[in-house]
Structure 1
Amino acid sequence: MIPSIPSSLTAQAAADLAAEAAPAYLLNHSYRTYLFGRCIVAKPEVDEEVAFVAAMIHDLGLTDAYQGESDFARSGADLACRFLDSRGWDLDRIHLVEEAILRHTNLVAEEVPVYRLVQAGAAVDVAGLGYEELAPDDLAGIVKAYPRLDFASTMRTRFLEEARRHPEGAFAHLERVVTLSDRFGANPIDGPGA
């Protein structure tokens, strides 16, 4: 059974913020990031609301509404901080969301459960890394609920645009180190029987 989506007012507001700014392929990616990550990082100490908010906002720095002069992750983290501050969240929880967004592209597995959840979920959805940790029924259920649409090709284009725009940013680093653009179209979750 796939994990449930947090139902707090702030979680709903984060989902609404993402729905207003993100095209469908990116919005569904945000949901899949949370759900894949929750399946992989099943530790009870994970603050699900923090993880969900971070997952919903983590790529909004790629959208027309929130793209800024900074790297997309920094733009998304700053957006999350403003959003959560306006909702009266305490600074420790805001910092967890900020760091989860900033660290989600790191290549070394994060140890803090919330950071790892967003990182692992995004890695599965973008490149299929760690997909074997998902139960086949969970994988199928998540993709059915939040279809991939044209994610692989459209996100690859956005990835390369962001890497060119910010040559010292996270995406440019991933392209230099692991040629991530080659992995979008080879994600095993899109393969036969997926």
Structure 2
Amino acid sequence: MNSIDKTLYPTVPTRLLAGVIVPDTRIVTSAIEFAREHCEPYLFNHSMRSWLFSAALAQLKNASHDPEVLAVSTLLHDIGLVQEFSGPLRFEVEGANAAREFARTLGMEDRQAQLIWDGVALNSTPSIGLHKEPEVALCTAGIGLDWGGFGYEMLAPALIGSIVDAYPRLDMKQAFTHAVCRIVEARPDTTYDNFARDFGERLVPGYKRPSAVDLLMDAPFKE
């Protein structure tokens, strides 16, 4: 084990990565390599930054959590954007299914695998994710920080700079926008009840989501 303050991670080996103490285990290494193998460079870097931000926030808050669950869920949170893992469901659910299966192949327990599923599925729904178990909430917070700058002021500018220098953004804003718009165009019915609809309404010609009011009023029941 490295000679690093292990107050938060007393039972796992750790290392220092871009200024952040992170777990250094077979499971975490496998998740990093899985993300690197399947994601475009911008998406891999986004996943790495999100994980490092989530770990830094955990340490800032001294939040007790399973560091391997947090690592896997954060590192694989956008795997549903990858063509290989795309399917008929909204991309977060496709990604959650893939991440849970990945966790099971590594021998993680059912409870761990389910928390990973929750972290991936809910990462873009902070109004829910931030109020779940610590692993899910930290995953959501780290991703939100990298994606939209939510909680940016909580971390020291030098630490943020170190993480971004280690894993550059690579035009993340534009690349992510193109990825979401591809889903809006190909599978619009998976975007009506989530953030992807905002991209569709602003950037995809002809996109129109159904109104929840109409769905209620058109329900096949007599009043």
Structures share fold, TM-score greater than 0.5: yes
Alpha-carbon separation, structure 2, partners of 1:146 and 1:171: 32
Q: Alpha-carbon deviations, 1:130-182, whole Å to 9, x = none? A: 11111111110110111111211101111222244444546862255799989
Counterpart residue type for residue 86 of structure 1 = T
Alpha-carbon separation, structure 2, partners of 1:89 and 1:125: 27
Which of residues 163, 186, 190 is equivalent to 1:142? 163
1:38 aligns with 2:55: yes
Which of residues 12, 21, 24 is equivalent to 2:38? 21
Instruction: Indicate the percent of aligned positions where both proteins have the same amino acid.
Output: 27
Cα displacement (A) at 1:7: 1.4
TM-score by length of 2: 0.73
Q: Alpha-carbon deviations, 1:100-127, whole Å to 9, x = none? A: 1111111313342111111111111111
* Cross-structure match for 2:27: 10
Alpha-carbon separation, structure 1, partners of 2:151 and 2:144: 7
Alpha-carbon separation, structure 2, partners of 1:111 and 1:147: 30
* Structure 1 residues 70-89: aligned runs within 5 Å: 70-89=89-108
Q: Output the aligned Cα RMSD.
A: 2.4
Alpha-carbon separation, structure 2, partners of 1:124 and 1:181: 23
* Unaligned 5+ runs, structure 1: 183-194
Larger relative contact order (CA 8 Å, sep ≥ 6): 1
Is this contact kept in 1: 2:63–2:134, CA < 8 A? no
Is this contact kept in 2: 1:18–1:57, CA < 8 A? yes
* Cross-structure match for 1:158: 179
Distance change in 2, residues 1:181/1:31 (3 Å): farther
Partner SS for 1:40: helix
Q: Work out which of the two has the higher radius of gyration on C-alpha atoms and give 1 or 2.
A: 2
Counterpart residue type for residue 135 of structure 1 = A
* Cross-structure match for 2:84: 65
Cα displacement (A) at 1:99: 0.5
Partner SS for 1:65: helix
Counterpart residue type for residue 40 of structure 2 = P
Is this contact kept in 1: 2:87–2:94, CA < 8 A? yes
Is this contact kept in 2: 1:58–1:76, CA < 8 A? yes
Distance change in 2, residues 1:172/1:181 (3 Å): farther
Counterpart residue type for residue 4 of structure 1 = I
TM-score by length of 1: 0.83
* Unaligned 5+ runs, structure 2: 1-17, 204-223
